[in-house]
Structure 1
């Protein structure tokens, strides 16, 4: 076992709840919901960036978000019970955005727009009167090898539920574009799934063989910081500048979180609970949401550009309206994965980066939760379970891999609560709200 450099209780004396101590049940549930809300931002942002580029619709984006949340809940529970057993939330990682974008821009996937296949399908649909007969016909009529399989998996839900088409010749162009997008989305999703499944094997092998634990001895903040920083800088143009798209909402949120968490943390309206220190994300998020709802209802964006309306209005995401009331994600829901050596090697690079990032996050979480620094074998076990989590990402189709959520690790220090139970209950929120 590695030498402990500092005793557990000498790390952060100002924490009120360490890894094995728990707040009251009411406070625990609120803290868990706050962790879920913070995790929700990443779970929405990544599919919002990637799904439209894959040719997916708003409904597809909602389904991917539900799947990502569901798998994140499973991975968080597995990590808290069998992995490092630290209060660390496992969620989608931005490190996978670049290799996923590489897969999306693969010429073989970009060329999925065969008008001949689409015209054959449309003429078939015109001569069919109902969804049932369409599905029955497509099961016996071979339109083409590339078109028959994805449409059968989709079961025509996206085509028939999202909107009502009168299959007249005037609507052929609209239906054609919609069907092409569906096919490209499914094929791209399967390629991403295959790359994630193959890449996860690297992390599983390095974790359970204890090799990663040996490597972790040579990791230091000086060595890990440049790797994580390069990932962040590579995505900078997709992150912080988005605040400028709606500065009247983004900037107040940023300033409000800083003010509430840093300058009002000693103010206690309730004597027993420092609510401003415990729940800054819930308080600020609620205030800013009401503020943005008032701006939307008051017509502040009626004459604004479309890009501004999409970023600022509360009724333009189409996530709630297009999401099904009940959806239980399951493996291979998008169909069987497809495998490519080039895609897999690109995804492996993201896996290595996420492993380094997770190692640093595990050490930070242990310190913030007043736990002993995780020894090499615990880190290896956690990395191994995280590899299993990435395999689940590939099997379910979450469009990205998973890693330790650095934002939620920071929330441990912000709220001064390092309880493992809070993270476990937040995983329950993830799975519950991904189904209903």
Structure 2
């Protein structure tokens, strides 16, 4: 089966990349809503018929093996969901920054299982709060900048404020990134990937006000959508899953992540680097329900379900799907989830708030962790963060960072983000 996929997938990708085959310097679209069809309110077109053939390559001759694997996954997923529903936020690992070098094997195992970790006290609270005040001043100086939602600004298309630059270069933040990167492993030579270090990546920031219901990011994962099946290297990240051995899947093997094409369609949410962990640094005190992060803390099971779901109709007993439909997968967007397209995930039960977060805490979640944001900010004060992921060193990422340096020098948007209408000052 793998040989058949190798023959077809590259041809599919090359035939459909379109503008993605040429270099781009900035994305079309004005704000973060362009990344999420559910936020934009624009219904995406159905996938082309050729996706039925792509789906068949994964399933032909393996229908029984996959069906048995799927049934076992659903049983195990139900058990794990019950645990999450019972314990909730208490399952989310929390560690002190000062203890990173001495964490037990049990704690490391827990972080890997949950696909999320809260590192406490990475920065002193006073320093984090000072960064937030600096961000507010930067917004005033750059009033031309777009933000989403337009009527209740929360996420700003600004990247080069003094606070953002200082945070990206801060030794404690870099040490935290290196720690989570070190949880990955690879058989590739260091000249191709180094998971012991982290490169700087410019991203947005959020200052979400109480009562806001506009920045209601539903359950999703970043790093593309159909690319997980369509790009050969990307699909090989999940080979254990689509060959019927999801129990053996290692979410922290970096071998095929290095050259995976996460964007075949020049999407607004594409990324020019591999972000092994998404992350944000908190600039406020935020409790569950107060505009904070929710995650699915069962990484292996949720990933296996994501990869296998397109091959089956949501019925009992399972039936192999032969249509070109990949549930909630849209070309040029991230992978979204809802109760209709991914019913067995039981999102209402499994999506779990991170615990109470204080200014200076650093939250990381694995690049395949399903995550969301409170639909309504029910707190009494702002929910503010700097988005700062962990980025292992690769040749491709190093090249991106060098181009990013030029965008910083000019004060314009990095190429992964929408083209701005002004220069930051």
Provide the TM-score with structure 2 as the length reference: 0.26
RCO higher in 1 or 2 (8 Å CA, sep ≥ 6)? 1
Q: Which has the larger share of strand?
A: 2
Provide the TM-score with structure 1 as the length reference: 0.25
Q: Which has the larger share of helix?
A: 1
